[in-house]
Structure 1
Amino acid sequence: MLKSRFLWKVWGSMALFMAVSSIIFGFFVGSQVEQSALKRIQGALFDQSLSLADSLSSYLDTEESLPIKLLEGTTPGVMARITIVDSEGKVLADTDSAPAKMMNQLDRPEIVASSASSFGFSLRYSDALKMDMVYVAIRLTSPSGKAGFLRLALPYRVVDDEVGTLRNMIYASGGAIGLGLLMIAYYLAYRLLNPIAKVTRRAYAIAQQQYQVRLPNRRFDIGQLSEIINEIALGGQQRIDELTKNRNQLAAVLSGLTEGVIAFDLEQRVLHINDAALSMLSLNVEQALNRNFYELPASRQIKTAVEKCLSEQSNLTATVKFGERTFECCCLLMTSDKEEPSGGIMVLEDITEKMHLEKVRSDFVANASHELKTPISAIRGLVETIIDDPRMPEEVVNRFINRINSQAIRLDAVVQDLLHLSRFDSAEADSNLSRIDLAELARKIYVTKSYDAGDAGLDINLKIESEPLEVDGDSEALNQLIANLVDNAIKYNIEEGKVEVRLYKKRSSAFVEVEDSGIGISAEETQRIFERFYRVDKARAGSVGGTGLGWAIVKHIAQAHKGGVSVDSQLGKGSVFSVNIPLAEQEIDHAVKIS
């Protein structure tokens, strides 16, 4: 039993803990006592200096240095070193050294501190006495009005002696108590671990499939341990069944994950692959399970990540391409109970959409910066030109001011559109919902936009197939949605073209369609027209004053109202934009009855 490493680890750890605890406790207590002693000595010196101030202030009026015996005779019973210094730092009297041999004291820390406050304190090395000293200084004023300083000092060894004695007592008492506790701990550990060693030997035999071996019952908790091990020997199959059940549950959890998970061994052989990973890599179970990674029809980057994880025995994360999809591949090294590598786990996350959204965000920031910078630069250039030429003709100034105004209007339009987008990107869009009749709203917009269409030489018509068309929505937002669709139909139309606005209900949704006979949109561009700042015809958009946000605002307003937007267009033949928004509850019931 004395050779038991566990016994000596327990006993040795306890001994080390007690020794370290005693040292740390002694250090902190000693530090606290040291601080307390310093404060006490400081207070004592300060009190003594105040009591001696009246009797020693008259020495400031003397022109010559005072003898040591004269000063000692004036302050009987005072153990501290006493020094009197005039306002210029000259030592007039000192109980331990001749004043003439002492340097100017005006730069001493305690003197400097007492000049700024009622007293000064310092702990420093004394060149005259060759030892650390504790100093306290106060200001003096002689009967004739001369200023100076009174300084008292004690050797720091007084504090060292007090702290050292206390620390020795702590270490001695801690050692004695610790030794007694260690002896008791050794006895208890021996009594506990001796039967455990016997149980361990028989348990090892059971682990070697000698299930006929039984452990004897012991006192205390050892008897319970024996019973538990006996139950393990009798219930081995039950444990195996439980492990099988847990494995199946883990497989069910992995199959339900949206991330792809692949487990592999040191030979890069696939041990497990969930449904998400099979879908991402376009594989079936037979193609992947128990196959080497190099045999899988997967991306070379994925195979390299597995090889690097095992060769470098470290976790790694990489972004890999597989066909048209992008994955974030994370390889985690698995270790056995012996902390040795046993394989790894690969987690695949499809970040194709995330990468697309990041690109959209980056493009949006760049486009927004450009759209804001252009009018700002124009305004700044025009203003600087006016400022630099104070004799500019009034006609030119007015023309510049008109251009500044047009650029300011353009800048305001961009900012307003950005604010609208921000509003419908957030959850605040639901806060202003009310019952809205889209038919009535469309009539008002039709009246307003008829003038714009007439100015552009276009024919505009409104067709409302069913009324009312009530939805729960934001009146201002829905007004802007329809207005933006009509505006774009007018702006991107041909000469003497047509615009038709149609409203109808279908099942549980209200539909708003705007058809134009304009320039049309290609199939490739219809996928992007609802992106922010995207323009189909950039030259035409600049001439008609568009911000590139109109269709994006339409999309976000529709989505904020739990609806959607679509476009059907052909180049040179015009476009049809369709927005659907869920009807209000009573409108849904009415639509169902009609159908």
Structure 2
Amino acid sequence: MTRSLKWRLITLFCLLIAGCVGILSIFLSNHLENSYMDNLQSRLIQEVTLFSRVVPEYITESPDSFDAGVKKLGASLDIRLTVIALDGQVLADSLQLPSEMENHSTRIEFIDALASGIGISIHPSASLGYEMLYVATLVKSGQDVLAVARVALPVEEVYAAVREVDRTILLGAVISILAAGLLAVWVAASVTRPVKELTAISRRIAQGQMDTIQIDVSGKGEMEELAKAFRLMTERLRDSIKAVSSERDHLSAVLERMGDGIFLLDREGSINLLNHASERIFKLEAGGVIGHSFVEAIRDHEINAVFERAKSSGKQEMGFVELTAGKRFLGIIATPLVSQSGYLVLVQDLSELRRLEKVRRDFVANISHELRTPITSLKLLTETLQEGAASDPDVAAGFIDKIHLEVDKLAQLVTELSDLSAIESGQAVLNLQPGDIRTAIKLAAERLSPQAERAGIILGVELPETLPRVRLDENRVEQVLVNLVHNAIKFTPKGGKIKIGVRTQSQTLVVYVTDSGIGIPEDDLTRVFERFYKVDKSRSGGGTGLGLAISKHIVQAHGGSIWAESVYGKGATFSFSLPLA
């Protein structure tokens, strides 16, 4: 685990101080030791110089007297004095008997003194057993060298003094390091506190808590500038996030409310996003297809081919696909995104537009057909009259009656078209009043009973004793019932039955007209309320083909709905609902 910045700073600071103090302590200790040794050496050089000047006066005495004098002088000076003959034999020593001492011809200080006039050496004393500093020089009488004079002092005192100073330096170093450590803790805390505060703020920003952040970071100098920069960055980031969030919400609202399907794909063709329209069109669930390939989700290679073309060309590609035996017609637009970072696939359900286009074409064809027949008849009748039939009164009268009949058909067609146009455009004003629907049902049944009798059809009405009141325009509702019953009479063979009934359903009153006629094919059920639409087998049944379309718009103007149910060959039921008053 990585240590925090605070402890790394403290450790580095303490190591730096300890290193500096350690180096300084070593330097001071060595310098002190060298100073002590230099001072001691200078003293011994002076001592040996003085001693070498005294020796010639006593060296001529007897060996015992000479040795005794040296011992006495050494005791007074508190220093070891030694006189060595040129052959290395000890002549006198202030601490030992010369006879008991070994030959000193191999001593370094003795050799250096003979060679250069003075010799200095530190080594353990063979007779005393501890280390001493020796300084030797020549004893001369005129130009003659008589012997070598040597003085010595134990260096242990120097070492003891140095060790004492070292202990003092070590204690000072420890105190310095501790003080430096405390200072380092304070400095590191003051340096890292703003960093910790900014780190905590950064974590809250990363967690999305932008609106609740108040940046008040302690610190001066660079830290204060850093806090100001961080505060400015946070404010700009907050504004940017709000702008992005707003744009995202707008985009999300647009995508969710679009009727067209949207797929957002990555470079490889995997789905990153889709809207509700896409789920509805392809019967998908977003959670089950996110991350899956486009073709795997939609399971249609024609649609995927449009995407593959856009992927290969790097340009927008379009295509149309017909699904489920012509019942669904889709437009596909695949567009590469900026820098080829992905693809946008737009799926438009054009089924309704295609259906409306077909309705328009059928309307034009049907109205042309409906107008062509009476116009053709009128043209033939008038031409026949012009060619001489007008001279025969009986023939002319029959032709004029036929002309009147065709003109009535044209007038009925024009009237129904006008009514339909007025109802669809909202120009036809309904007189809606709370009332009982029985009256409209009885009037419609009475008007069409003679026609049903001539066709050999039984027309019956079944009404409950009590019915809830509804808001209706009686004349318009009667018109709807007349159209429905008249339609049932046309498509019910002789001996069939037609029944008008009523039932309540939730908050509506449902009126239905059931017949035992030829029925309606399933594919035509959704289109029977279109203008001029006729089931093929009923082409010869007469009528304009506008009655059911007018009925649909009248019912919708009442706030209700109308529908047809049928099993082909077993009759049909037309129903419409009206809201209760």
Q: TM-score, normalised by structure 2?
A: 0.53
Which amino acid counterpart does residue 331 of structure 2 have in structure 1?
A: E
Deviations 1:479-501 (A, max 9, x none): 21111122223333333443332
CA–CA distance in structure 2, aligned partners of residues 417 and 572 of structure 1: 29
Alignment length (residue pairs): 356
Partner of 2:330: 327
Q: Secondary structure at the match of 1:262?
A: strand
Q: Is residue 374 of structure 2 the alignment partner of residue 375 of structure 1?
A: yes
Which amino acid counterpart does residue 418 of structure 2 have in structure 1?
A: L
Q: Is residue 443 of structure 2 the alignment partner of residue 444 of structure 1?
A: yes
Larger Rg: 2
> Does the 8 Å CA contact 2:303/2:332 hold for their aligned counterparts?
yes
Partner of 1:273: 274
Would the alpha carbon gap of residues 514 and 250 (structure 1) be closer, same or farther in structure 2, given more than 3 Å must change?
closer
Q: Secondary structure at the match of 2:529?
A: coil
Alpha-carbon distance, 1:375 to partner: 1.1
> Does the 8 Å CA contact 1:566/1:579 hold for their aligned counterparts?
yes
Q: Mark the runs of 5 or more structure 2 residues left unpaired by the alignment.
A: 1-220
Alpha-carbon distance, 1:366 to partner: 1.6
Partner of 1:460: 459
CA–CA distance in structure 2, aligned partners of residues 389 and 423 of structure 1: 43
Partner of 2:471: 472
Would the alpha carbon gap of residues 395 and 293 (structure 1) be closer, same or farther in structure 2, given more than 3 Å must change?
same
Would the alpha carbon gap of residues 307 and 440 (structure 1) be closer, same or farther in structure 2, given more than 3 Å must change?
same
Partner of 2:547: 550
Alignment of 1:351-390 (within 5 A): 351-389=350-388
Alpha-carbon distance, 1:562 to partner: 1.8
Would the alpha carbon gap of residues 487 and 469 (structure 1) be closer, same or farther in structure 2, given more than 3 Å must change?
farther
Would the alpha carbon gap of residues 464 and 393 (structure 1) be closer, same or farther in structure 2, given more than 3 Å must change?
same
> Does the 8 Å CA contact 2:440/2:475 hold for their aligned counterparts?
no
Q: Is residue 310 of structure 2 the alignment partner of residue 309 of structure 1?
A: yes
> Does the 8 Å CA contact 1:472/1:583 hold for their aligned counterparts?
yes
Which amino acid counterpart does residue 385 of structure 2 have in structure 1?
A: I
> Does the 8 Å CA contact 1:281/1:298 hold for their aligned counterparts?
no
Alpha-carbon distance, 1:439 to partner: 0.9
Partner of 1:512: 511
Q: Secondary structure at the match of 2:342?
A: strand
Would the alpha carbon gap of residues 390 and 331 (structure 1) be closer, same or farther in structure 2, given more than 3 Å must change?
same
Partner of 2:265: 264
CA–CA distance in structure 2, aligned partners of residues 506 and 268 of structure 1: 50
Deviations 1:358-384 (A, max 9, x none): 222221222122111221122122212
Which amino acid counterpart does residue 303 of structure 2 have in structure 1?
A: I
Q: Mark the runs of 5 or more structure 1 residues left unpaired by the alignment.
A: 1-215, 218-223, 585-595
> Does the 8 Å CA contact 1:558/1:579 hold for their aligned counterparts?
yes
Q: Secondary structure at the match of 2:382?
A: helix
Alpha-carbon distance, 1:508 to partner: 2.7
Would the alpha carbon gap of residues 298 and 407 (structure 1) be closer, same or farther in structure 2, given more than 3 Å must change?
same
Alpha-carbon distance, 1:573 to partner: 4.4
Which amino acid counterpart does residue 272 of structure 1 have in structure 2?
A: L
Would the alpha carbon gap of residues 413 and 436 (structure 1) be closer, same or farther in structure 2, given more than 3 Å must change?
farther
Q: Is residue 553 of structure 2 the alignment partner of residue 562 of structure 1?
A: no
Deviations 1:36-68 (A, max 9, x none): xxxxxxxxxxxxxxxxxxxxxxxxxxxxxxxxx
Alignment of 1:404-415 (within 5 A): 404-415=403-414
Deviations 1:58-96 (A, max 9, x none): xxxxxxxxxxxxxxxxxxxxxxxxxxxxxxxxxxxxxxx
Would the alpha carbon gap of residues 247 and 273 (structure 1) be closer, same or farther in structure 2, given more than 3 Å must change?
farther
CA–CA distance in structure 1, aligned partners of residues 506 and 276 of structure 2: 37
> Does the 8 Å CA contact 1:485/1:514 hold for their aligned counterparts?
yes
> Does the 8 Å CA contact 2:443/2:478 hold for their aligned counterparts?
no
Partner of 2:489: 490
Which amino acid counterpart does residue 542 of structure 2 have in structure 1?
A: G
Deviations 1:195-225 (A, max 9, x none): xxxxxxxxxxxxxxxxxxxxx99xxxxxx9x
> Does the 8 Å CA contact 1:466/1:505 hold for their aligned counterparts?
no
CA–CA distance in structure 1, aligned partners of residues 229 and 301 of structure 2: 50
Would the alpha carbon gap of residues 294 and 383 (structure 1) be closer, same or farther in structure 2, given more than 3 Å must change?
same
Q: TM-score, normalised by structure 1?
A: 0.52
RMSD between superposed Cα atoms in Å: 3.7
Would the alpha carbon gap of residues 347 and 537 (structure 1) be closer, same or farther in structure 2, given more than 3 Å must change?
closer
Q: Secondary structure at the match of 1:428?
A: coil
CA–CA distance in structure 1, aligned partners of residues 319 and 229 of structure 2: 47
Q: Is residue 565 of structure 2 the alignment partner of residue 580 of structure 1?
A: no
Would the alpha carbon gap of residues 555 and 252 (structure 1) be closer, same or farther in structure 2, given more than 3 Å must change?
same
CA–CA distance in structure 2, aligned partners of residues 571 and 281 of structure 1: 31
Would the alpha carbon gap of residues 240 and 480 (structure 1) be closer, same or farther in structure 2, given more than 3 Å must change?
closer
Would the alpha carbon gap of residues 249 and 304 (structure 1) be closer, same or farther in structure 2, given more than 3 Å must change?
same
Which amino acid counterpart does residue 459 of structure 2 have in structure 1?
A: I
CA–CA distance in structure 2, aligned partners of residues 572 and 261 of structure 1: 44
Q: Secondary structure at the match of 1:462?
A: strand
Alpha-carbon distance, 1:419 to partner: 2.3
Alignment of 1:217-256 (within 5 A): 231=231, 249=249, 252-253=252-253, 254-255=255-256
Which amino acid counterpart does residue 290 of structure 2 have in structure 1?
A: L
Partner of 2:98: none
Partner of 2:344: 345
CA–CA distance in structure 2, aligned partners of residues 496 and 325 of structure 1: 41
